[in-house]
Amino acid sequence: MNQIARALSALFLAVLPVACSGPATPARAPLDGVALGGPFTLTDQDGRVRTDRDFAGRYRIMYFGYTFCPDVCPTDMQTIGAGLRVFEGKDAKRGAKVVPIFVTVDPKRDTPAVLKAFVSAFHPRMVGLTGSPQAIAAVAKEYGAYFEAEKPNAEGGYLVAHARLAYLMDPAGKPVALLPQDKTPQDVATELDRWVR
């Protein structure tokens, strides 16, 4: 019996450092080397022209959606905003390095004023970006973000089918990982903790 107890004790001591440590950072990011992202010039929720260079030196959470989305986009933005707040609460210095960016795929309806009301509901530093249909299509293509407006109904309303992805980009604008916006705020915070330095 003593031999079994000693063996279990040795096993416990061997596993303890792994069990008590936080999530390990893999040597390579999941999206390392993936051709994703690129330069853009769009308009933010305050009517100011913003380019990708305005966000240089900061991590970016890039999400493509639209404010008239009946369910998915508001839910995802809530999760991302809450996840960033959890991360900021744990490490304010690293949290300040992250800027959440919502890029509309419905520039016809998503004016700066509409975006301002939308993004301000989810995080005080969330940036909303819009632009011409051509500019939005170009940015979405750079990020591999599919979208397609459906045929308007009799009242002129319509939905926009779109990819449901949240990209974490590094301070140089390179892709790092996909964030789990379809899970919990804690899951988002855990991924930010894993990658933001």
Pick from 20-24, 33-37, 43-47: least confident: 20-24
pTM summary value: 0.85
Closest to 34 in 3D by CA, of 129, 183, 140, 173 = 173
* Cα 156 to Cα 145: distance, rounded to the nearest angstrom: 25
- Average the pLDDT over 47-60 and give the result: 98
* Cα 106 to Cα 62: distance, rounded to the nearest angstrom: 16
| Whether pLDDT at 182 is above 70 | yes
First to last CA, the chain: 48
* Cα 191 to Cα 29: distance, rounded to the nearest angstrom: 11
Confidence band for 69, pLDDT divided at 50, 70 and 90: very high
Mean pLDDT score across all residues of the chain: 89
In the chain the domains, ranked by start, together with CATH numbers, are 30-195 (3.40.30.10)
- The CA radius of gyration of the chain, in Å to the nearest whole number, is 20
Confidence band for 193, pLDDT divided at 50, 70 and 90: very high
Q: Residue ranges of the alpha helices (H) in 111-197?
A: 112-119, 133-142, 185-195
Closest to 50 in 3D by CA, of 152, 131, 162 = 131
